[in-house]
Amino acid sequence: MHGLGNDFVVFDARAEPLALTREQVRDLADRHTGIGCDQLIVVGPSDRADAFMHIWNADGSVAEACGNAARCVATLLGEQATIDSAGGLLDAAAAAGAASIVYPPPRFEWDAVPLAYPLDTGDVPAAWDDLAHGVALSVGNPHIVFFVPEAGAVPLDTLGPRIEHDPLFPDRVNVGVAQVVAPSRLILRVWERGAGLTLACGTGAMAAAVAAIRRRVAVSPVTVSLPGGELTVAWDGGPVTLSGPAATSFAGTVEI
């Protein structure tokens, strides 16, 4: 499945448990010798929701949240559903080829992101070459967002991994570079923790829109334009709503 080209291998394990090792996840995610994906998703049972969404990055590391994957899972579960995840309990509404997900309120405390030590998350006093004055926050997983004159000009393929693995971020971090086009529109590119550059990042879109609204350079709802297409983010200070397309590429079986 995919959301704007951010693609996933999705296993439905609600009826039969599926345990995967980190090595198996990496093998399945390999685009040359496996199925290939940015993230691998296992949909399992939950005691408090319609399903639990387990998320692994392509490198085999565990992720707490994935907005594009949540929309894909929502289309599998039906029109209205609740999805449990390591990043919190999500309310989902699916329609033909699209879904909206309501996420818990974002967190801005330094130890909720988390950062390695107390810093102003609204204007992080650190710089990586020309990227500075970032906004750090958690939308179920850790993000830092930098506002730049031209998102496409930032060498995110080299800066992204440097920032992701910086000791300032003990759980590593997703890195977004956002360009404010208008109060209701952003252009965004994201280096995803454990996956690298992707065509779209749902939680990255939420983080960028929330950061822009917090900086008073945007107003809700915000259209976020990513390399793979557009997402809509609404935030009024409480929960965050992410809306956009979700699609099934193909279905099949694989020996594990």
DSSP 181-229: EETTEEEEEEEETTTEE-S--HHHHHHHHHHHHHTTS--SSEEEEETTE
Note whether 146 and 177 are within 8 A (CB).
yes
Question: Are 7 and 1 spatial neighbours (Cβ–Cβ below 8 Å)?
Answer: yes
37 is catalytic: no
CB half-sphere exposure, 144, CA atoms < 13 A: 33
- Cα dihedral 66, 160, 244, 88 in deg (nearest 10): 20
Q: What are phi and psi of 216, to 5 degrees?
A: 65, 35
CA 230 to chain centre: 14
- Does 72 participate in catalysis according to the annotation? no
* C-alpha to C-alpha distance for 67 and 73, rounded to whole angstroms: 10
Give the residue from 231, 235, 188 showing the smallest Cα distance to 98: 231
Active-site residue, selected from the candidate residues 51, 66, 145, 190: 66
Size of the chain in residues: 256
d(C-alpha 227, C-alpha 57), whole Å: 20
Q: What is the dihedral of CA 29, 64, 190, 181, to 10 degrees?
A: 140
Which residue of the set 81, 201, 208, 211 is catalytic? 201
Q: Which residues are catalytic?
A: 66, 201
